[in-house]
Amino acid sequence: MRIEWKEIPKEETIYKIAEKYQGVKPKSLEAYLKMLWTVAQIDSVVESHFSQWGLSRGRFMLLMMLHRESCGVIMETKHGVPGALTPSELADQLDVTRGNMTGLIDGLEREGWIRREDLPGDRRGLLIHLTDEGKSRLEKMLPIHFKRMGKMLSNLTSEEAEGLLTGMARLLSGLTAFREEIEKNPVKGE
């Protein structure tokens, strides 16, 4: 169960918290809290959007990996079969466990979006393909999907969008430092 604030703390509260802890920059704390809240709002809306198609974000991402292949954007693969990926390639690209990938594949196959096929020359290997029905369903969905994604960002000017991209790149480098700090200096809860 995901628990989120209905609204983030007021600026006054953020400043009081920042004063209490050495080295906390109020604007950085405010930006962090607003970013977390915004991401939660985006996740909620996007999940509602995908659920209208019987999908989750993970299922959609798997389908888009296969759709990309079927559109001629070919990834480097060991098998060389265009338009298809192995479950392990999909798991690696989507950064999920093989077990999670099996669950995603099973569900999408049951619903007719994808099909499994034996990997030529490898009795234990499988390839995952979009079915014709899956392609057709995606082609109906994608115009609506991209239109809705565009609406989400429609209030940004080109310059603001570019600034957001720059800011996210900087944020990701800070996230890397955050991750390294956690790994180098783990804290044991009491």
How far is CA 66 from each of CA 87, 127, 184, rounded to the nearest angstrom? 11, 11, 38
Instruction: Examine the pLDDT at 5 and tell me if it is beyond 90.
Output: no
68's tokens: 């990309």
- Residue found under tokens 């962090």: 32
Query: What confidence tens digit (pLDDT) does each residue in 154-178 have?
Result: 999 999 999 999 999 999 999 998 9
pTM exceeding 0.75:
yes
pLDDT of residue 82: 72
Query: 86-124 pLDDT, tens per residue?
Result: 899 899 989 999 999 999 999 999 999 999 998 877 777
Q: Which domains does the chain have, with CATH numbers?
A: 57-140 (1.10.10.10)
DSSP structure string for the chain: -----SSPPPHHHHHHHHHHSTT--HHHHHHHHHHHHHHHHHHHHHHHHHHTTT--HHHHHHHHHHHHHHTT-PPP-SS--TTEE-HHHHHHHHT--HHHHHHHHHHHHHTTSEEEEEETTEEEEEEEEE-HHHHHHHHHHHHHHHHHHHHHTTTS-HHHHHHHHHHHHHHHHHHHHHHHHHHHS-----
